[in-house]
Every structure is written in C-alpha cells, then in structure tokens.
Chain A
C-alpha cells in the first residue's frame, strides 16, 4: 500500500513567518507534487519535482519554494507567510505517468 504522509494536518502560523510543510512517500516514486486546493479553483500545482534536487515551477509558484534532498521527501517552504496563503495543501507522488497518490492534506491558516 502506497503511503504519502504529510507532517501536519492543521497548522496556524503568523504573517511573515517562514513555514515548512513536509511530505514523505514510501514507494520510491520519482515524481512528487505540491498542490493548493481552494474552493472553486480545484487543485493548482505549486511545484513539481521529478528527481532528487530537480524541480519545476507549477502554475502558482510565487511566494513558495521547495526542497528535495532525498527521493522520499519533498518540502514546501513559504518564505514569508501571508494571509492569502491560507489554504489546504496537498502533496502527491507518482511513478512516471501513472496514478498519483495523495497525502491527507495540511490545512494552513495564516493569521
């Protein structure tokens, strides 16, 4: 059973804080993704990584960065959190062009 685990289910952070969201997968998948889910906007891709230390911007990368030092771990970093980054964040992983498996999501609130 593929497992994608996000480090936190709920997070509350202050404006201006640096925020780290962690995601770990246990199936040796080369692809990992960070999406943001907002009502009516679907799943918007923030960043995509296709190998260790390799990354590609998605549709909404502004205000975010990522790190992939090990194959199983993909971190999303909010350099200076703002209230418009309050959202549900979903991590996913996949092997090639096959089924993507999602984490349980992190509900981030920036106050």
Chain B
C-alpha cells in the first residue's frame, strides 16, 4: 500500500530563518500532495497542496516543490515567525474512481525561537 515518510521529526529554527520539511512517497500513482498544520490542541488544517501536473506552488511565505521522478515533495517556509510553530504533516493521495484515500507522514514538530 501507499507509504509516506517524513523528515525531520523535529526542527528548531531562529525567527526569520527558513525551514524545510521533506517527504517521500511509495506509490507512483499518487497525484495529490497536501500539507497540514496542527497547532497545539487544535485540529489539522490545510495550508497548501500541489497536484502532480505542477512542480512548484507558492503562497506568500510557504512553497511546496514536487519531484515525481524521485517521488518526493518538500515544504519550504521562509522568514519563519513564532506563530509558525506547530506540527506539520505531509500527505499523499491517488485517484481511485472519484475518491481520494489520504495517507499521512509521521509529522514534523517545528519550533521557531524568537
């Protein structure tokens, strides 16, 4: 079945620095790759996603890159702020009819030090 590996498990950066989180997936048929942010005590929420027909997507300080050949994708956060501190999850999904079974990575705890 589909497997998603995420690294690192923890990441600590100084405010203003960049943070990069990497994920690899096993099923080459995967074609949708969302990223979720979970703040302490809250539910995960989508922050950005990318589909397999695109190599990069940006939304203000957040960007995601996808390398289909290598089966990996990454989240880049620039100019980090203390409010970026949270657990980040990558996920992968593939088309199966009209459905989308979503498999998550293990999560990365990001700490941004002021």
Contact = CB atoms under 8 A, between A and B. Distances in A.
Contacts of B31: 97
Interface in B34-88: 34, 43-46, 49
B24 interface: no
Contacts of B106: 40-42
Interface residues of B, number: 28
Given A50-B99, A97-B93, A100-B34, A90 B9 contact: no
Contact of A30 (B1, B32, B98): B98
Contact of A40 (B9, B98, B104): B9
B62 to A, nearest CB: 15
A110 interface: no
B77 to A, nearest CB: 19
A42 B6 contact: yes
Nearest to A43: B104
A48 to B, nearest CB: 5
Interface in A53-111: 56, 58-59, 90, 92, 94, 96-100, 102-105
A30 B99 CA distance: 8
A51 to B, nearest CB: 8
A98 B104 CA distance: 14
Given A40-B9, A97-B32, A45 B98 contact: no
Contacts of A50: 96-99, 101
Given A97-B31, A99-B49, A100-B34, A92 B102 contact: yes
Interface of B: 1, 6, 9, 31-32, 34, 43-46, 49, 89, 91, 93-107
